[in-house]
Structure 1
Amino acid sequence: MNARIVVAALSLSAAALGGIVLSENYTDSAVVPTKGDRPTLGFGSTFHEDGRPVKMGDKTTPPRALVKALAHIGKEEAVFRASLAGASLHQAEFDIYMDWVYQYGTGAWANSSMRRNILAGDYVTACNSLLLYKRAAGYDCSTPGNKRCAGVWTRQLERHAKCMEAQ
């Protein structure tokens, strides 16, 4: 594996952007993806480009949805980078954690054990911390047979596997 790169020099890869939009399942009308979530639109955007929150009844098109996703990612990526000042990651790790940030937000990231572990240089524990985020609206999405939010847990397992692969 190549050496880690200072986070300030990294940005989301095209492959990771494609992964985010594919995993978010495009919708042309606002939906609540899992019970207790905020309304999302397009490729999982919870806000419009101008900062207004998505409301039920809002509509979009695929090109506008991509613009929304890119605006969202751009804002979150700047905050994410600043939160890891001086830290280094592999490109794969950067992409994995940005995918997580797209789903959970920079507020959750700022207080996450993943961030603390990366800053401490404990990359394996940071990967393992991904598995701590398995709840949606208070419900444990890792519960076997769950039909309420199984995708939340499946996505975490995928992120964890990719993260461990990068170690």
Structure 2
Amino acid sequence: MRRILKRGAAATALALSFVGGNEGLKTEAYLDIVGVPTVCFGETRGVNLGDSYTPAQCRAMFAGRLAEFEAGLDRLIADPVETRIPDRTYVAILDWAYNVGLGAAGRSTLIRKLNAGDLRGACNELPRWRFAGGKGVRGLAIRRNKARQLCHEGLDGVPAGAPFRWSGA
């Protein structure tokens, strides 16, 4: 497996699984909940309705974009030292940033709390991000609760290589 995250193979595998699983794979372009053309694992850049990709093309595109989001997230974090933010916490925040975009992430209370050293407070901000187009979305609420759980698991000492098991909605 090609390593995406600077953090290592276990964090990379978790990020690919967690973010990719949350996004879901769709090889044919479609309009997302707010009407943006989207394909593969939530890719919106340069997508037109009618575009289609193979699963292998989608995986390659996703790996590249995830690496871009990691670099962008690291620019937003005041001190992105790998040991400061546990892998599971980082992956949960990466999932959120990948979904909401780096612009929204950069203006967020979540990043402000993270940069102030309040990692638990940052984790607790995740469920607030359950809206799309000004409306609450059940799927986003579920996704954010999963991310919050993963975020707290990182803070509670769950080893990076341990499988993620979500326990509810």
Given candidates 123, 126, 131, the residue that maps to 1:130 is 126
Post-superposition Cα deviations, 1:13-66, rounded to whole Å, max 9, x if no partner, equal 2122122222222111111232x142211111112xxxxx21111111101101
Secondary structure class of the residue paired with 1:57: coil
* Secondary structure, aligned partner of 1:166: helix
Aligned CA RMSD, in angstroms, stands at 1.8
Deviation at 1:90, TM superposition (A): 0.5
Which residue among 39, 42, 45 is the counterpart of 2:43?
45
Whether the 8 Å CA contact 2:89–2:152 is kept in 1: the answer is no
Matched, 1:90 2:89: no
Q: CA deviation at 1:110?
A: 0.6
Runs of 5+ consecutive residues of structure 1 not aligned to the other structure: 1-7, 48-52, 142-149
Q: Find the counterpart in structure 2 of residue 109 from structure 1.
A: 105
Deviation at 1:137, TM superposition (A): 0.6
Counterpart contact for 2:90–2:151, Cα < 8 Å: no
Match for 1:31: what amino acid? Y
User: What is the match of residue 30 of structure 1?
Assistant: 29
- Whether the aligned pair in 2 keeps the contact of 1:10 and 1:94 (CA below 8 Å) is no
What is the identity percentage for the equivalent residue pairs of Structure 1 and Structure 2?
Answer: 27
Give CA deviations for 1:124-166 in whole Å, capped at 9, x if unaligned: 111111111110111022xxxxxxxx21111011111222232
Moved more, 105-114 or 81-90: 81-90
Alignment of 1:1-167 (within 5 A): 10=7, 12-34=11-33, 36-47=34-45, 53-87=46-80, 88-141=84-137, 150-167=138-155
Change (3 A) 1:61 1:135: same
Tell me which stretches of 4 or more aligned residues in structure 1 moved more than 4 Å.
Answer: none
Residue segments in structure 2 that go unaligned for 5+ positions in a row: 156-169
The TM-score, its normalising length taken from structure 2, stands at 0.79
